Structure 1
């Protein structure tokens, strides 16, 4: 495998449109059904973490087995709705995290491919500019600014390339 072509991905216009449509539907769902907590709210409500999730699960089971112990101010039906919604959101977030990871990995490989090809182009322009090819000199002059460690664009092969 060539080092400048580690991934081959082509998204059709139809695929891009379908993804945009589906993402818009997810955004609409979240806008309708999910609050947007500010930093203070996030601090106040926080996360119950895994240990406390286990407590909630155990209490749910015990509430079902011992309904006479449920305090009057705790509405079992509301507890169940909240529990079911939390589970649904948690499962959805896990799926979204998996999708996000795959897309990030794809982007990393695409960035790598683009960078390798860009560096090959830069090296070609540098070589031709050093050979005094007139068409290459302005291109090289424009690109050499991305390698500030070099003195006045000297032609040495020791330029910082990453």
Structure 2
């Protein structure tokens, strides 16, 4: 018998508890330190592109070397704090992106496993319903609704 499983994942209760505890802690930290922008604010402030990041990096160096040109309304200390926090957040985002990618890839494989097994089950129920198995017929009628573009003889043959 062919096994369609591309991946097997089983989380222990301890792993789920630890993962959710860590995620909750990260969310609490983000809620404490990061504002929630409206879509309009995101559009208004945007994100600086790579060229502008280079400008910020170069201005930081030059500002430290030539403080007499720093306008009075720009606080070099606040600039430095913002700069450091931005770099720390970029590192966090890269790690979160790696986690998100791994979880999405795993979910894709699990979704595929579930879909293939569901299709095999559907084909089995369809076979028994076509053989006039009275118990299989209502099951088939429940499942065939997910194939509205196929007539009963030409159901999903995937």
TM-score interval, normalised by the smaller of the two chains: over 0.9
Q: Matched residues in 1 for 2:123 and 2:54: separation?
A: 58
8 Å Cα contact 1:6-1:113 kept in structure 2: yes
Residue 158 of structure 2 is aligned to residue 148 of structure 1:
no
- Deviation >3 Å, runs of 4+: none
TM-score (norm. length: structure 1): 0.91
Gaps (5+ residues) in structure 2? none
Q: Matched residues in 1 for 2:3 and 2:35: separation?
A: 45
TM-score (norm. length: structure 2): 0.94
Q: Matched residues in 1 for 2:47 and 2:146: separation?
A: 44
Q: Matched residues in 2 for 1:161 and 1:70: separation?
A: 71
SS of 2:145's equivalent in the other structure is: helix
SS of 1:37's equivalent in the other structure is: coil
After TM superposition, give the deviation of residue 161 of structure 1 in Å: 5.5
Q: Matched residues in 2 for 1:79 and 1:3: separation?
A: 58
Q: 1:30 to 1:161 in 2, by over 3 A?
A: farther
8 Å Cα contact 1:149-1:160 kept in structure 2: no
SS of 1:137's equivalent in the other structure is: helix
Structure 2 matches for 1:43-82, cutoff 5 A?
43-82=43-82
The more displaced of 4-13 and 60-69 is 60-69
Q: 1:54 to 1:21 in 2, by over 3 A?
A: same
Query: What RMSD, in angstroms, separates the aligned Cα atoms of the two structures?
Result: 1.4
Q: Write out per-residue CA displacement over residues 82-130 of structure 1, whole angstroms, 9 at most, x where no aligned residue.
A: 0000111111111101110110000000000000000000000000111
How many pairs align? 157
